[in-house]
Structure 1
Amino acid sequence: MTEPMARTQLPNGPWQDLAIDYMGPLPTGEYILVVVDYYSRYYEIEITRTTTAEKVIKSLKQIFATHGLPYSITSDNGPQFTSEVFAEYLKDNDIVHHRTTPLWPQANGEVERQNRSLLQRIKIAQGEGKNWKEELLTYLFAYRTTPHSTLGISPAEALYGRKLRTKLPELRPSVPDDESIRDEDRLKKFKGKEYADDRRRAAEADICIGDKVLMKQPYHNKFTTPFQTKPYTVKSKTGNCTTVESPEGILYKRNVTHLKKYRTRSEASESTHEKEETTVEDMSENRDQHTMEESPVGILEPNNTEPNNTDEPENSDKPNNTDEPENSVETEVAVDRPDVSRRPIRTRQLPAKFKDFRL
């Protein structure tokens, strides 16, 4: 079951809510720390050799020395982001830490999208035999000064409130309007959500607190079933993020897409029986409606007149009935035809390739 997409609310201003993630390892053994601003879509990168919590803190200090401290940071559940050292650093700087649902990278989609663009640029530089680190700087400058499809202005203009000067000739820049940024962001997100939900046929999951569910398990081999056999109990549900408890008492946090409602054999059979009855009723209603639409109000039939006896002569001695006229005229009366469902008749004909054959 795929639930409708949940869009991230636009922050009140630039550099307030950030998303961070590591991309790598690259073939050179290096990693790239990516820090994205949710408001302006402006992001900073840091190339490192290690991914420890100490190295993350050192990189963030350099970035925060330029842009200042944010209000919150969103990350995945990597060991460097869940360590006590990293938690202590965020606490000392009064930064709220949001962690995404495990095994659901879409929850941190903004930074994941930038990772894909960076990796694509690195591949292009490698294919052209260029220094990928220098090409990344060229790409970052082009990205920061190009109008964003969602914002309508460049990320640098949304962050700094001014346009960065490029080699392209232009007039004196104007200060961007925050209301226009929000309108563009709201419109683009709504269109993206509507398209994604319609394409995935998303629907609200019927999973509530206290329900028994089955949790999806990793694929190991062809004998691996999609879901685990033992049921889990739903303890809490916030949006698409659901916390379940195993029979051993262990808590797991998963996206609702990774869960399926658990039904016993009797419940499953009752559900199947109800679906079959509903299907039969719908088919019967559709057939009756189709018959009523195709059948006319009535058909015209002649009155039952007494057939002439051809054996008798034209001028018989039989007395004429004075109640009826001599030359009776057949009248047409509308008679209702009963509703009878008829199967369509298929026209049978030989294929065109046999038209020259005598069968």
Structure 2
Amino acid sequence: MTYLMRKKCLYDGMEVMRFETLAKRLMSFRLIRLSRVLNYVLSGWPKELDGPALLPYWYRRRELTVLDGCVLWGARLVVPPQARKRVLEEVHKTHPAQVGPTLEQVAQSCDRCQAHRMTAPLHPWVNPGRPRARLHLDFAGPFMGKWFLILVDAFSKSLEVHPMHAATTRATVKILQNMFATHGIPHVMVTDNGCVFTSVEFGDFMRGNRITHVTSAPYHPATYGLAERAVQTFKGAMKKMETEYSSLESKVDRFLFRYRLTPHATTGEPPAVLFMGRRPRSRLDLMHPDLAQKILLKLQRQKQDHDKTCRERTFKVGQHVFVRNFSKRCKWLPGTILERTGPVSFCCELTDGTVVRRHQDQMRNRITTGKVGELAPAPGADEEVLDDLEDGTVTGRASISNVQNPADASVGQTAEPEEKHPRSEEQPTSSEMIAPTMEPVIRRSSRTSKPPDRLNF
């Protein structure tokens, strides 16, 4: 570069300034600011400056050098103020990219640079935050003999395609009315400046539904680029399915189904998930394990293992039962089922009129013998209830001698048809079932206590 600048040459009729020229001009202006900088670089900088004019050079004094009478800042040449305009014109001769504020000012004053400036920085649309808040509309067609109205949701990127015979305002409004009845009215709708969207009828439809209608700048499709990209995606997919032997409507449905299940490049989620909050089922889901069926099989196996040691127990309304008591008196109390409150829970009325709610595990079958105060457990009753009966802790009878089996009750009494079938007789009232309660007898263990055997070492 130094060799080229030292060499005298012509470029588009303009003579390139050489190092010697810059040095002569610098030496001819020794009393100006840059001359003092040159002297300070060669002889040393003073401890204090007499003014703020040389502060920019003072801060960079350790980076300044002198070469052939010219001041260099690193590898760059410090140009005198009198020669800067010509140097800038030489640098901007081929209209390069602007670097620095000085060259930016030169480019702004250049007509050619202003006519060929780069596009403005991208200004993306604001994310609406929820589905169906802003819709982008555009027409595709005529394509495959029809027009297609394409709608894109700005939040979920969900796509809708509606085939049309003609792109008219009345047909467009009818499709939008059907869509609003299903998904609601959006806040904003973005379109281009087509005749359908700028018509009076379409404007009245927007104002009537309180929708903000935003149109793009004329001949600037990047404003509604979301809809334009959707049109290109739809056309490309339909062209790839031209060889398939199916109707146009079937192809559109299959395209939308696959598109809505495919993760979008912007959101990273399928449009159907963001739009509906769930992933629709597809044939590919059959390849995944069914969690619900797995849980059902586990529950069925758990029930089978549990029911191996259990007996089937059924109760009905009006049936006499023993109800588990959780107070300090006795464990089981007689009662009658009033209603079923669940698959395995019931409300029962005790002999004293108290209504309690119990699980079927807390209930036992009970059969009355026909006499007031005489109760008998049902055949196959649990051993725990029988133990309570033998201990004299079940209320509703006078003594242990009154408790007997249904088979023995028919032998010691006068045979009557009603007593042979105690379940078919009229159920006694609660007052008839109450008998004097005996005080519980405190029993002590009769086991002989033996002293423990100890090892005597």
Q: TM-score normalised to the size of structure 1?
A: 0.46
Q: Which has the higher Rg, Structure 1 or Structure 2?
A: 2
Higher relative contact order (CA 8 A, sep 6+): 1
Q: TM-score normalised to the size of structure 2?
A: 0.36
